[in-house]
Every structure is written in structure tokens, then in C-alpha cells.
Chains A and B, each alone.
Chain A
Amino acid sequence: MSQEATCNAAGSSIANETVGQVVDRGPLSLGRILTNRWFLHTVSIVAFFWLWDWLARSNVLGGGSSALARPYEVLDQLVVLAHEELAELTLWGHVWASTQRVVIGFSIAAVIAVPLGLFMALNRYVNAIVKPLFDLLKPMPPISWISISILWFGIGETSKVFIIVLGTFVPCLLNAYNGVRLVEPELYDVVRMLGGKRRDEILHVCFPASFPAIFAGLQISLSIAWTCVLAAELVSARSGLGYIIVQGMNLSQPAMVIGGMAVIAAAAWGTTLLVTALERKLCPWKRKIVGL
């Protein structure tokens, strides 16, 4: 406070305009612990696993082979899968198989759809040509393509990657397109007033302004990519996390099914973190959303 006062007196003109943040660090009390965020996180996680275990133990969802696996059984199963091979691959091999498909399909879609979306927003002729085709194909759920893609490409990698490309193409393109469309038009005026040309408007306003929207599209695409790869693997595959789930079902091993589900969630989460990290690196200006 006194620091600020001296600053003002010395004529430093903005000291009174900066916004400071004060973190209140009171003494620890029971009330503070009970309302602590991390404490509450722990409580809810422990409660979840306890409820799960209780449901499994009391056979609410049926007994025997259709029973809900207990948490430690799932963990056991995952340890076994990590060491022993299932269809010539350990758990890591299967994780890698699925991840590879996601990454390839997602990358192909992003590399084509994002520039195409930007072009559509920037050039009305490109827009007029691409938009009707896009609108025609957009409402079709990507999973509905599985059968035809197996007929076309067989049950190998190509058909799975094809499904992922189809599914992730739409949000990638739409977000890039809308990102450019929603740019504040006066920002273009700023560039023109500063002596910029059309090229500068695109380079210095269009692209950076649509970055956050593009990344939002990439995040949505990524979760769709995992849905697609799983669907494709459930239909036909000899590797991948979907294959583990199908095997668990065929062998009547709920622990294996749930284990596969958990690993998919973990893998999807991991790839999301990668994209988030990339976004942080490329858009340091984006305000962090607090609390989520």
C-alpha cells in the first residue's frame, strides 16, 4: 500500500490502475479443511470407489460372470494384460494400436479440414462450392459409415482411419470457419489504419483470432476420434482397446471390459492434455478459465 502511494507521489501514472490480488492465508481450522477443494475432491473419489465396490460385492447387477467387477479385480486384470499377450500384443501394444489410429486419422482430418474451413470463411467462391457438399454430409453420423468402409477398404487399418477422418473432419472445419467469421471486424480496420494490406489482415488478424476456435474444434475432434476408433474396433479388429473390450465380453470377463474402458478414458485424456499443452504454447494470450 505504501509502495503504491510513493509510486503515485513520484508521478508513476498507472500504479493506481493495476489490479492486485491478495491471497488470504488464515490459520488452519476444521472448517477450512472441510471446505478445502482438494479435500472435497478426495472425498468424492473415495466415495465413488466405495459405492462401486459395494455394488459389486452385493451383486446388485447380477452374480456370476455378469457381475460387476470389483475395483481391485479390474486393476488385477490390467496388470495381467500388461504382462501377458492377448492376440500377440500386451496392453501397451493395444493402447498403441488404438492411439496410432486416432493420431493418424485426426491429423489427416485436421491438416485438410482446418485450412479448408479458413479458406471457406475467407473466400466466398470456395465457400459456395464446398458448403453444399459439406452440409449434405454433415448430419450423417460417422459411425454409419463403418459398414461401407469395411466393404471398400476391408477390415484393416484403412477403414478405421477412414471413419476417424470422417468423424473429426466436421468439427475441425466448422470451428475454423466460425473462428474466422466471428472475428471482430474493427480489428481489420486497425490493421488497415496502421498501413496493412489484405494480406496483413489475414496474417495478423484472421489467423491468430481464429486460433482459440480452431483449438476448441481440435479438442472436440479428439474425443470424437476416440469414439470412432472404439466403434470401428468393436465391429472388427485384431488389436486395439476396443478389441480388448470385445474379448472381455466374449470371455465373460467383466473386469476385462471395464479395464478396457478405463484405459480408453486414460488414453483419450492423455491425448487431450497434449493438445491443451500445444494450445498453451501457441496461444499464451488466452485467458485461463478459473474453476474448470
Chain B
Amino acid sequence: MASLVRSFGDRSLRSLVDLDRGLVSREIYVNEDLYKMELEQVFTRAWLFIGHEAQVPNPGDFVVSRMGEEEVILVRDRKNQLHVFLNTCRHRGMKVCRYDDGNTLVFTCPFHGWSYDTDGRLVGVPYFDAAYKGDMDKSEWGLPEVAQMCNFYGSIWATWDKGAPSFESYLGPYSDTVRRAFQSSDGEDNGVELFNPVYKWRIPCNWKFPGFSFDGDRAHAAMTHRSINVAAIGPQGDAGGGSRAPIRAPFPYTDYEMTVPELGHGGHNAIYEQPGLAEYRDTWFTEPGVDDYYRAMREKKREKYRGQYIVGETALIWPNVNIQPHRILIWHPHSVGVTESWRAYPIDRMAPQHVKDAQRRYMMRYGGPCGLTESDDMENWNYASAASFGTVAKRYPYNFMMGAGHAFVDEQRAPGMTLNYEVAEENQRSRLRRWLEFMEAGSWEDIYPVNPVSPSAGEATKSKSKVES
């Protein structure tokens, strides 16, 4: 594996990220040149989340999405094939689509009128015969299309790099988690749709604040979210102390930070000490009839997973998307100090209206820029970022020491994963490791197949205590 050692200014990238000690220079969160490098090295290379096929059910349906800083269009062409195109005219760059979503026959550029079919072909050029006189071959001037696209159980992912491994290989041991996140609550594959539209808002912080800390920073919850329970936003209302999370039946499990250090993915996850799924416990006290639906769905799912050990319900998929049942969180780089946060909410496609309504209202009051939980995360990311730009501030590295050297594996119950205590910074260190590899790599050949990372020796840390995430 021929990994290039890249440098930035007079420092090697490696000197900025000391994974053994868990020390990371603030530079990588605030430096403009490094940010520009990320757009190239990370965001034109990695598989990125685009959307869901249910957003564009009919031929001609489109919705705008985003890869890195740039806008793309997810469109179903007139032959029912999905495409992801960069939203820019090949003539002189104008956006060919300035609507958020809709249905169209063609994307016609409002500048000089070049017109592209929904399959990306350039089909209309004004004055084509009279002015170009046969000098231009229209077939060479279609909309720029991603190098690879994957429809993974209904979810759409894409990369600009034709050298990237298949999406499933990219996910590695987390492919099952992502697959299950797009199941309906009875465990049927491709069982969800997304509520429309997607939330979009700007957070004044580097994209890695949310991107690296989500599903990797359980330690923040106790302090950041201290104020949330008084609002009792959970489906159960005031019952049980106003927790924002639904009530669950007891089931023997241990929570861990769980990561694939080679790939950069990881989540806060549980290993169940017995096979199968917990039975359903009523929780929707504020919304009549909803428990009946979810209870029946859970029974079907329990049947399906009887005898199986289930590992991993959530995951941060490197580099910038967090996949959870009922929630997809995406953090797009917008500038070195600004993130454009996108949020999509999957819902069982076949759920009755009152269930969809209840779930939708819960999601709206829970998260996003107007939800009660995340507002405090955003204040913290905002001013952590702001206070890291200073000349003196940058002399002090961030501390990612929590649990360093105490990771372990459990090949029996969590194959391919590296585990750490439920409150640790193992997942963030994984992302930083993968970040370094992407930033140094000359091409995908340097970073896939992966170099196995062996977790540093350390004792298995186990805890039965439940910490809110």
C-alpha cells in the first residue's frame, strides 16, 4: 500500500493527528487549506448519501440533493432509471434546476436554453444547426453524472470516484445496520419512505463537529441535554420523568461504542445477551392507537429475528451521514466554518395515517433547528468552532483521549467491530484515522482494501448502566 505522506504548510498531516495519544490539532477543524483539501480528498471520493427512491416515485420526478458543497439532482428518468447529476449547465455553468423538487420532461437552462433530458443527455441547443454548423457533438455535453450510484434497499448513495469499492464493501460490517434502518418496523426490506421535505439549515461550525461527534460522543449528552426532560417531548409525555426517548421493554444488553476503525464507521450500539428482540412496550401515551400498530409490527419482526443476535441499530457512515431508524442526519461542508445540516425522516411506507402523523410530530419536536433536543448541540458546536480559530487557541490540541488504548474485540458477538466502553471516544478516533487516510491517499487504491487495525490491548470494559445518548 503506497500511502503518500501529504503535508500541509510545513507540517505533515500525520503530525496533526496523534491517534495513539488521542491528541488532534484544531487546525484540521479551522484551516481553510485543509478544508479545500477535504472537498477533493474526502467528498469527491467517499460514498455519500443522496436520498431515497420514494422521493421520486414517478418518471420525471426529481429532488435536489447535495454532495459536499455542490448541488446534485436525483431524478427518475422517463425509462424509470435513477440518476444523480451535478446541477450545472455544461455550457456556462448555470444551475439547470432551481426548484427543490417536482416533475419535469427536461431540465432547461434559463441562461441560453440548453436543454437536458431526464437521463442527462443534451437534447436541445438553440441555433444548433445554424450557429454550431455541426462542430459540436451533443452527446459529449450531457449533465455531469456521478461515477457510481447505488440503490441500497431504497436508499440512494453515490460517489464521484469510479475507483471506489462497491457500496456494500464500503459499509463492511455495518451494511446490515444500514439495511435494517431502511426496513419497516416489521423487518421488511425497503419498507420506508421519507417525509417531505428534508430539513436544511446552517450551523456555524466545521462539518466535523456534528459529523465526527454524532454516534461517537455519548459523553456530551449528560451536560448538553440537561434541560430537555422538563419539556417531556417523548411519545409518553410526562410519564416516566419526561424522557425524550421512547420507553422500551427490558432486555439484557450491554451498550458499547462500536466501530470499524479501518472504514471509519461506528455507532453507539448494544450487544444483546440473548438472541431475538425485546417484546414491545407501550410508549405512545400521548397518541391513541399508535402502540397498537407498532406492537403488531414488532411481533412480526420478533418472529423474523427469533434466534438471531442483533448488533448495531445506528451508525455514522463515514464521512458525514448518521443512519438511525426514523432519522437520517447529513452534514454537508459549506465552508470551513459552516455546515449545512440536512435531516430526513423515514417512516413505514404502509403505516396508517395516524401513525405517520404521530411519528412526524415527534420527530419535528425532537430534532432539527426547531426541535428541542438539538438546539443545545448546535450552540456547543457553534462556539466550540468559533473559539478554535485563534492563533493561541490553535496551540492547544483537542482531547480525544477518552478510552484510548482500552478498545477490544468480540469476534463472537460483534464480528469485524472494535468495541469500547459505552462512554468513550473510540468512534471519533476511528473517523479521524479514516480522515487521515483519505487526506493522504493518492487514490482509492491506497485506502481499499483496508489495512487491518488491531485494537490496542486493553481489558474488556463492560457496563450494564444505561446512558442516554
Query: Are A and B associated in one complex?
Result: no
- Interface positions of A (Cβ within 8 A of B): none
